[in-house]
């Protein structure tokens, strides 16, 4: 079953949001235009409590984009974003959600960040996405969304580790740091995650 996973196309990651991804809004019409090509469409979104450990404002003397260590792992500190129940946490208003069968929330544990749609960053807690997809008989997983170099990349990495054939849809994603993402694309190629365009589907 050919499945599309749409990741974090939320207001706070759009231009004017609290953690804007450059040109993040430009992927919305592309995602809308290709959903009909898939047997199954699911989505993931950041859903953080107000006191989330990744928010810089919750660490005295720290600023956004500082690096600290949490539970033995490096953690980037972010501006407040995608706080549960806020306008910033909602999906972009123009995103067509009619075909979606399920939405998986991540980053809900205040003590650890969760970039991947499958697990938190310490792989301590699953979102249940793997079991859901395998129960549906999914073999091919196509990923897109925001940000390409963070949540989409880590979701693709985990999906590959879970045994799915993975395809990253580049024109339906945008990175926060384009230079960093060029290096991550090399890692995806090395793993066998195919980088494609929406027109290739």
Among candidates 79, 71, 17, which has minimal Cα distance to 54? Answer: 79
Contacts of 104 (CB under 8 A, 6+ apart): 42, 43, 44, 45, 117, 127, 128, 129, 132
Phi-psi region for residue 157, left (φ > 0), alpha (ψ -120 to 50) or beta? alpha
How far is the C-alpha of 6 from the C-alpha of 30, rounded, in Å? Answer: 12
Among candidates 85, 91, 86, 97, which has minimal Cα distance to 35? Answer: 97
Tell me which of 106, 113, 120, 149 is the catalytic residue.
106
Tell me which of 82, 144, 151, 166 is the catalytic residue.
151
Q: Beta strand pairing status for 2-7 and 100-106?
A: unpaired
**Residue 190 preceded by cis peptide, ω within 30:** no
Residue given tokens 């490096």 in the structure block: 74
- Residue pair 31/9 in contact (Cβ under 8 Å)? The answer is yes
| Whether 106 is catalytic | yes
| Whether 144 is catalytic | no
For 41, the enclosing helix (H) or strand (E) is: strand 40-46
Which residues are known to be catalytic? 8, 106, 151
């Amino acid at each position: 079953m050919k499945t599309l996973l749409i990741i974090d196309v939320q207001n706070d990651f759009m231009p004017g949001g609290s953690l804007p991804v450059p040109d993040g809004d430009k992927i919305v019409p592309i995602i809308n235009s290709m959903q009909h090509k898939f047997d199954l469409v699911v989505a993931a979104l950041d859903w953080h409590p107000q006191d989330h450990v990744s928010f810089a404002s919750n660490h005295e003397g720290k600023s956004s984009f500082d690096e600290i260590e949490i539970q033995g792992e490096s953690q980037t500190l972010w501006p407040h974003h995608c706080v549960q129940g806020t306008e910033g946490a909602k999906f972009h208003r123009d995103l067509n959600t009619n075909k979606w069968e399920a939405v998986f929330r991540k980053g809900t544990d205040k003590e650890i960040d969760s970039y991947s749609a499958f697990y938190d960053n310490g792989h301590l807690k699953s979102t249940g996405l793997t079991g859901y997809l395998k129960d549906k008989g999914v073999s091919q997983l196509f990923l897109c969304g925001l940000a390409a170099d963070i949540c989409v990349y880590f979701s693709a990495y985990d999906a590959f580790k879970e045994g799915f054939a993975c395809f990253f849809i580049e024109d339906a994603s945008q990175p926060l740091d384009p230079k960093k993402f060029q290096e991550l694309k090399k890692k995806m190629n090395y793993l066998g995650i195919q980088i494609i365009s929406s027109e290739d589907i």
